[in-house]
Structure 1
Amino acid sequence: METISFEIMGDPVAQGRPRAGKSFSGKTVLYDPAKSRDFKQYVKVVASQYKPKELITGPIHLELTFYQPTPKKYHTKPKQALIEAGLLLPVTKPDVDNLAKGVKDGLTKIIWQDDSQVVSMMVRKLYSMTPRVEVNVIY
Structure 2
Amino acid sequence: MKSKEGTYLESTTAKTHLVIHGEPVPAGRPRFNRNGHAYDPRRSRDYKRFFRQEAKMKYHGPILRDKALKVDVKVYRHVQRSISKVERGRRLRGEHRPIVKPDASNYLKLVEDALTGIVWEDDNLITDVSCHKYYSDEPRIEVTVTEAKEEK
1:54 positional shift? 3.6
Structure 1 residues 15-53: Cα deviation after superposition (integer angstroms, max 9, x where no partner)? 11111114xxxx431111111111111111121121422
Is the contact made by 1:14 and 1:99 (CA closer than 8 Å) also made in structure 2? yes
Instruction: Verify: 1:13 aligned to 2:21, yes or no.
Output: no
TM-score normalised to the size of structure 1?
0.88
- The 2-side partners of 1:74 and 1:51 are apart by 42
- The 1-side partners of 2:55 and 2:43 are apart by 18
Structure 1 residues 2-25: Cα deviation after superposition (integer angstroms, max 9, x where no partner)? 111121111111111111114xxx
Is the contact made by 2:112 and 2:123 (CA closer than 8 Å) also made in structure 1? yes
Indicate the structure whose relative CO is greater, using CA pairs within 8 Å and at least 6 residues apart: 1
TM-score normalised to the size of structure 2?
0.81
Residues 43-58 of structure 1: pairs in structure 2 closer than 5 A: 43-48=51-56, 49-58=58-67
1:57 positional shift? 2.9
Is the contact made by 2:63 and 2:121 (CA closer than 8 Å) also made in structure 1? no
The aligned residue for residue 138 of structure 2 is 130
Instruction: Verify: 1:87 aligned to 2:99, yes or no.
Output: no
1:75 positional shift? 5.9
Show structure 1 runs of 4+ deviating over 6 A. Answer: none
What is the number of residues matched between the two proteins?
Answer: 134
Listed as ranges, the gaps of 5+ residues in structure 1 are none
1:72 positional shift? 1.0
Residues 19-30 of structure 1: pairs in structure 2 closer than 5 A: 19-22=31-34, 27-30=35-38
